[in-house]
Chain A
Amino acid sequence: MRKFVVRRLVTGIVTVLGVVVIVFFLGRITGSPAALYLPENASQERYEQFNTEYGLDQPLLVQFLRFLGGVVRLDFGDSIWQQRPALEAALSAMPPTLGLAAIALALSVIVSVVLGSLAASRRFKSLDRAITFGSLTIASIPDFWFALVCVLFFAIYLGVLPTSGYDGVDAWILPVATMMLAPVGVMTQVVRGAMIEALSSGYVQNARALGFSQRRLVYRHALRNAALPILSVAGDRAAGMVNGAIIVSAIFAFPGMGALVVGAVLNRDFFVLQASVFVVGIAVVLLNVIVDLTYAVADPRVRLD
């Protein structure tokens, strides 16, 4: 077990390093990397000063080594915009985003499991068709548009919810709802599929032959097995939550990684962008390891490998 965790972490770190390297080269593709960091109207002198300061006039290899050295020291440069180390800015932006993502993902899983199981156990009947159609529709709604429409309806028209801000449960409702769209839309179908497969398996047939009720077959026999692919998918969607967070902060001015990243783009702060990619990458890797471990705990066939 421990060997497994270590192995996955190492792979994960390699992956994140790969990510960071890619971003590094991304920043060097254009002829004048400094342009990515400096405001558009910066003077020529500023450019030259910047280039010398950050060694952008050095050969690429040297730059790369300097960069790697920085990464190892966890130094991603200083943010001009934020007036503090880029990594610090990125790390401090994580908590609100994590909170938002965790709540949204948890609620999405609950909703999907309920809807997907209902759909699977009444397969092909009207409820199933309604749920399937509903989940397909939800999966087709762009989150940014949904957020705007909600703002239009709830905040502007009805005046019941705030359009922006961070404190109070009110301010979290629309952001969480927006972030739940894609996961619910996709996971309901996954749950339904996994439940249908579990329900048509041999052990459910056997249990049915032993006279158990449909309800028992669904919730005790099938769900426990369907939980495994559901877990996988939920883990996959975690990375996608950051996407949602970006949109959410753009529209609701919700603090967090989304706001940071969008701000970094608008303010031409590539350091912060790099650091953000690094932090998010690590978070995703850690999450995947946790999901894998949970999978091993949940599925006895995997445990003993």
Chain B
Amino acid sequence: MSSLLSVTDLEVDFHTVQGRVEAVRGVSFDLAAGESMAIVGESGSGKSVTSLALLGLVGEVGEVRGRIVFQGRDLVGVPEAELRDVRGAGVSLVFQDSLDALNPVYTVGAQISEILRVRLGWSRQRAREEALHLMQQVGIPDAHKRIGNYPHQFSGGMRQRICIAMAIALKPKLLVADEPTTALDVTVQAEILRLLRALQRESGMSLIFVTHDLAVARLIATRIIVMHGGRVVERGLIDDIFDRPRHPYTKALLAAHPGRVASWKDLRPIPENLTDEAPVDAPADQLPKGPVEEIAHGI
């Protein structure tokens, strides 16, 4: 089975005043078309850097090594002009902070339309119609009226929907969502997750969902890789990980989750030095072989 995305031995370094920071080390994973995968880890585990690296957005002070093969083409070391073609149309990114991600001085309609006009060469009229349609698709009520509003006039949840609308405007094959719900209320969170699943179903696009929250990961993904200290420490099907965690870090992560224990006294903080433990891979026979069916977990 050929995968949509195949990451092999991804390594990212940052050069800082204190020295070289090894942000990501030896990360490898495959993703098939239509699949949804979660990358779970705490802050500093390298999960966000990994998602940025997929689009070549690591920046001036970072150094990327390894292979990122998307639709048969390795994106590492590719010139910026080619990366631009892939961004938005092949792989798209949704950021955590939706207020920050939207330009405060342009209307949301203008920002969505711009993508279509500039990347696809559409006319103003046609782009506006599609922008309207996209806003409705992501569930923004009164889209006709709100298309002329500015980002600061929307609530957090609405803004995130707009960001999603912008991300899917070019119908990408892969959507990477970097903690898109972390800053939102729980109820809004559920709606966004529902939206993402619906969009996936409609378009068949793959999803990489980055989060620190295992419970959220469980709601949205079928597969999961757990990152700690820049490395992948465990990978497998979501249910397997939950029921039979093998790596000490995964176990600690689960034990630290308030939803998993009976009393707060049973909560355990995650010990510091768990990356020394060797990463654990799911045995080959447990990895999915074909398109994954929906796993309903209460959405």
Contact = CB atoms under 8 A, between A and B. Distances in A.
Given A209-B93, A212-B84, A301 B57 contact: no
B89 A211 contact: yes
B95 A210 contact: no
Contacts of A46: none
B102 A203 contact: yes
Interface of A: 123-124, 201-203, 205-214, 216, 221, 224-225, 298-301
A216 B104 contact: no
Given A210-B87, A214-B80, A300-B104, 14 more contacts: A202-B95, A202-B99, A202-B101, A205-B57, A205-B95, A206-B93, A206-B163, A208-B57, A210-B167, A211-B86, A216-B118, A224-B105, A300-B105, A300-B150
Interface in B282-297: none
Closest 4 CB pairs of A and B: A202-B100, A211-B87, A210-B88, A206-B101
Interface string B96-115: 01011111111000000001
A125 to B, nearest CB: 10
Contact of A209 (B88, B97, B100): B88
Given A201-B100, A203-B101, A225-B105, A209 B87 contact: yes
Contacts of A301: 104, 150, 152
Nearest to A204: B103
A224 B106 contact: yes
A298 B104 CA distance: 11
Contacts of A216: 118
Nearest to A203: B103
B57 A298 contact: no
Contact of A211 (B88, B100, B150, B152): B88
B92 interface: yes
Contacts of A224: 103, 105-106
13 contacts: A124-B60, A202-B97, A202-B102, A203-B100, A203-B102, A205-B95, A208-B57, A210-B87, A211-B84, A224-B105, A224-B106, A300-B104, A301-B152
A203 B84 contact: no
A210 B105 contact: no
A210 B104 contact: no
Contacts of B49: none
A206 B86 CA distance: 14
Given A203-B101, A300-B104, A209 B57 contact: yes
A41 to B, nearest CB: 63
B101 A205 contact: yes
B124 interface: no
Contacts of B104: 203, 225, 299-301
Contacts of A201: 100
A209 B103 contact: no
